[in-house]
Chains A and B, each alone.
Chain A
């Protein structure tokens, strides 16, 4: 089974472009009925059934992101936002098209990736740090700050399974904000935690905005789009519907949801 694939290249060039996306397509081969397992695969081949259905998710995206832009990506559930982010992060391969990433890229698809409930908070911090590309020495240096910021100092040597979910998120967030890269990819990290935590998130985003950090943020919150983004892209059914001023995109998004609710 040969599947044609697009390209994703990482470069380090001294110009003002952060990401270029050209003619990007992505589809998933979703298994139909019961096509898992060897037996079914052999049956399907004998009967000439493909055993999967092609689900087209992204249908020809073109855009370019400059350094220092804070880009919000919005759209309905299933419009392809998260898939786009995962392709930019290099987790999924594009089906067709070209992506050029200029600079180091740090993705947060989820907070606390690699967290293991059976390990202590301390061990999880080092593990999570390694996934973000920090060495042991770098982690040692920022170790106390992480716990200070998470306000969980007394729990460092407890197993993670004894943390509440809110505590886990606070710890994960506290590690995540230390990550340094030219480009940050954030997927809905705002959507968790209580009001105090939301406040911390907002402060973090504001600091990114003020530092002119290049950020791509997938979100459902039009307030965040209006407040932090310098530009927004509205996705619908795998295509770009609108690309431009955050205000305009936010209104268009709200209008679109209004229409879809009337149906």
Chain B
């Protein structure tokens, strides 16, 4: 069988235009426009910071805690945006799928590229805050790239899998909203993992086997402070590869499901 070139010229143009359109439409009609891409996560951070750091006094033992928190919320927003946009994308672009023939994955990827752009803007803010907060720049900063890539691939896999089921069973959108809410507390974003570790090492280990937690902790470790507990410096048995296995399985299974179901999107959407 001949393998078609995944990103030929036509598909690249299409991907670019769809992403541009998505990005423009997102902030269409608002006075501050693109600034919202920046303001929204900063405001979310401000709320969490006031509630958890100032009122509940959590995380005062971690160096650079505000940046540490901002870094976590930034990556979390990226993950939720990527998955929910990706899952919705096939339905949102249903009109297009019914009218022209093109590789369906373009719709999913283009919807997520908006989140990628937002992430890049916000990471720049995190870095500025880190420098103000007295974090010294280091070569290890480049090591955040594989962790972010892993987080993206995980959300891509989820979007492929749930997005293709969502075409027929729209319940997925609501179910995913609940799962995201639950995951938010299962991942050490607002609370430091050290807090869990001090009461139960087993619970902390289980939390760290979640690929989202692993990726966020890796970024914090390389970007902000090496005093961060990561999957790699906390778990010393073969189960340490569990996060990578989860990501790979979800991605492969998602891609296969999407490939199989995408033939019928035009009829079913």
Interfacial residues, chain A to chain B (CB-CB below 8 A): 3, 5, 28, 36-39, 41, 86, 89-93, 107, 109-110, 113-114, 116, 118-119, 123, 126-127, 130-131, 133-136
Of residues 254 through 269 on chain B, the ones whose CB sits less than 8 Å from some CB of chain A are 263-264, 266-267
Verify if B57 is at the interface (C-beta below 8 Å from A): no
Contact A127 B169 (CB under 8 A): no
Contact A89 B13 (CB under 8 A): no
* In the complex, chain A residues whose CB is within 8 Å of the CB of B101: 89-91, 107
Question: Which of the 9-residue segments B20-28, B34-42, B61-69 touches chain A?
Answer: B20-28
Contact B14 A86 (CB under 8 A): no
Contact B100 A109 (CB under 8 A): yes
Contacts A93-B264, A118-B28, A130-B13 known; A41 to B100 CB distance under 8 Å? no
Contact B17 A127 (CB under 8 A): yes
Q: Which A-chain residue is minimally distant from B13 (CB atoms)?
A: A130
Contact of A93 among B13, B168, B170, B263 (CB under 8 A): B263
Instruction: Determine how close the nearest CB of chain B comes to the CB of A49; give it in whole angstroms.
Output: 16
Contact of B100 among A28, A38, A113 (CB under 8 A): A113
Contact A109 B99 (CB under 8 A): yes
* In the complex, chain B residues whose CB is within 8 Å of the CB of A119: 21, 24-25
- A28 vs B266: C-alpha distance when bound (angstroms): 11
Contact A130 B16 (CB under 8 A): yes
* In the complex, chain B residues whose CB is within 8 Å of the CB of A116: 21, 25
Contact of A133 among B13, B95, B96, B98 (CB under 8 A): B13
Instruction: Determine how close the nearest CB of chain B comes to the CB of A196; give it in whole angstroms.
Output: 26
Contact A28 B14 (CB under 8 A): no
Q: Which B-chain residue is minimally distant from A35 (CB atoms)?
A: B168
* In the complex, chain B residues whose CB is within 8 Å of the CB of A107: 100-101
- Given A116-B21, A123-B24, 10 further pairs, Cβ under 8 A: A37-B169, A37-B170, A41-B168, A41-B169, A107-B100, A114-B95, A114-B96, A114-B99, A116-B25, A126-B17
* Most A Cβ at <10 Å: residue of B25, B28, B101: B101
Verify if B227 is at the interface (C-beta below 8 Å from A): no
* Most A Cβ at <10 Å: residue of B18, B21, B25: B21
26 contacts across the A-B interface (CB closer than 8 A): A3-B264, A5-B263, A37-B170, A38-B169, A38-B171, A38-B172, A41-B169, A86-B266, A91-B99, A93-B263, A113-B96, A113-B99, A113-B100, A118-B25, A119-B24, A119-B25, A123-B21, A123-B24, A127-B18, A130-B16, A130-B17, A131-B100, A133-B10, A133-B13, A135-B13, A136-B13
Instruction: Determine how close the nearest CB of chain A comes to the CB of B129; give it in whole angstroms.
Output: 34
Q: Which A-chain residue is minimally distant from B266 (CB atoms)?
A: A91
Instruction: Determine how close the nearest CB of chain A comes to the CB of B9; give it in whole angstroms.
Output: 7
* Shortest Cβ-Cβ A-B pairs, 8 listed: A90-B101, A130-B17, A38-B171, A113-B99, A38-B169, A93-B263, A133-B10, A109-B99
* In the complex, chain B residues whose CB is within 8 Å of the CB of A3: 264
Contacts A37-B171, A92-B267, A93-B264 known; A110 to B99 CB distance under 8 Å? yes
Q: Which B-chain residue is minimally distant from A105 (CB atoms)?
A: B101
* Most A Cβ at <10 Å: residue of B25, B29, B99: B99
* In the complex, chain A residues whose CB is within 8 Å of the CB of B102: 131
Contact B100 A135 (CB under 8 A): no
* In the complex, chain A residues whose CB is within 8 Å of the CB of B9: 135
Q: Which A-chain residue is minimally distant from B21 (CB atoms)?
A: A127
Of residues 197 through 256 on chain B, the ones whose CB sits less than 8 Å from some CB of chain A are none
- A114 vs B14: C-alpha distance when bound (angstroms): 11
Scoring B residues 93 to 118 as 1 if CB is less than 8 Å from chain A, else 0, what string do you get?
Answer: 00111111110000000000000000
- A89 vs B97: C-alpha distance when bound (angstroms): 12
* In the complex, chain A residues whose CB is within 8 Å of the CB of B25: 116, 118-119
- A36 vs B168: C-alpha distance when bound (angstroms): 7
Instruction: Determine how close the nearest CB of chain A comes to the CB of B78; give it in whole angstroms.
Output: 25
Q: Which B-chain residue is minimally distant from A187 (CB atoms)?
A: B99
- A131 vs B100: C-alpha distance when bound (angstroms): 8
* In the complex, chain B residues whose CB is within 8 Å of the CB of A130: 13-14, 16-18
- A119 vs B20: C-alpha distance when bound (angstroms): 11
Contact of A36 among B13, B98, B100, B170 (CB under 8 A): B170
- A116 vs B95: C-alpha distance when bound (angstroms): 11
- A91 vs B264: C-alpha distance when bound (angstroms): 9
* In the complex, chain B residues whose CB is within 8 Å of the CB of A131: 14, 17, 96, 100, 102
* In the complex, chain A residues whose CB is within 8 Å of the CB of B266: 86, 91-92
* In the complex, chain B residues whose CB is within 8 Å of the CB of A110: 99
- A7 vs B25: C-alpha distance when bound (angstroms): 37
Q: Which A-chain residue is minimally distant from B93 (CB atoms)?
A: A114
Instruction: Determine how close the nearest CB of chain A comes to the CB of B110; give it in whole angstroms.
Output: 11
* In the complex, chain B residues whose CB is within 8 Å of the CB of A28: 267
